A and B are shown apart, each in its own frame.
Chain A
Amino acid sequence: MSSLQGYVDRRVLLILQDGRAIVGVMAGFDQKSNVVLSDSKERVYSMEEGVEEIPLGLYLVKGDMIILIGELDETLDKAVDLATIRAEPIPPIRY
């Protein structure tokens, strides 16, 4: 059985169907992959300026919306200066 249990209390990156990238600590999840993120921040990517981090706090994301969950390598992540990163934002999924 595949499970999200291994991600609990770890800092994770969530990619949503609308192209948003959210990092936060996974506080919990359920059978439908609904996810609770604490201390979460949205990372807004653009080609014009560095990555902008918007604090969001406690978030409950519906499993339907989630495309990807990945564990963040915190040491590596802290070593990166987000202000220097320029990247195309992920476009939303269109049906």
Chain B
Amino acid sequence: MLPLSLLNAAQNKPMLVELKNGETCNGHLINCDNFMNITLRDVYQTNSDGDRFWKLKECYIRGSTIKYLRIPDILLDAVKEEQVRAREVGRNTRGAHAGGPGNRGGRGASTRGGRGRGGPMRGGRGRGRGVQ
């Protein structure tokens, strides 16, 4: 599983972010991008000694300043299940539309189908699939 897919799934969930300077930010994830830049809402910020606190309504954290994020445990299972489901859907739509044009499969399925048609089912998967 990719770290960023986990982070994407953590939107609206509470998390703790420790920065490289030791400060921590506790809050709910509003949004994130591929650089791991994030915005949090209802934030409790502590300094690196942990003896001073600030409450912020919202904050933006540059991805490169993050040391680690602590995320609710249940998210791991949620993302894993979602991946299994997405895989199932991909398989079904690919099978159903292999013969004809059809546009019900959605964009994702049809682009994949284009690559996959020439070879065996697995051949169509992007290179990225190797990395879990």
Contacts and interface: CB of A to CB of B under 8 A. Distances in A.
Contacts, number: 70
Given A16-B67, A62-B68, A65-B67, A29 B3 contact: yes
Interface string A40-71: 00000000000000001111111011000000
A58 B72 contact: yes
A67 to B, nearest CB: 13
A58 B77 CA distance: 11
Contacts of A36: 1, 3, 6, 76
Interface residues of A, number: 23
Given A61-B68, A62-B67, A28 B73 contact: no
Nearest to A61: B68
Given A35-B3, A36-B6, A5 B71 contact: no
B71 A30 contact: no
A23 to B, nearest CB: 14
Contacts of A90: none
Nearest to A56: B70
A59 B76 CA distance: 10
Interface string B1-35: 11110110000000000001010000000000000
Interface residues of B, number: 24
Contacts of A3: 131
A51 B130 CA distance: 37
B68 A28 contact: no
Contact of B3 (A5, A28, A38, A65): A28
B64 interface: yes
A59 B132 contact: no
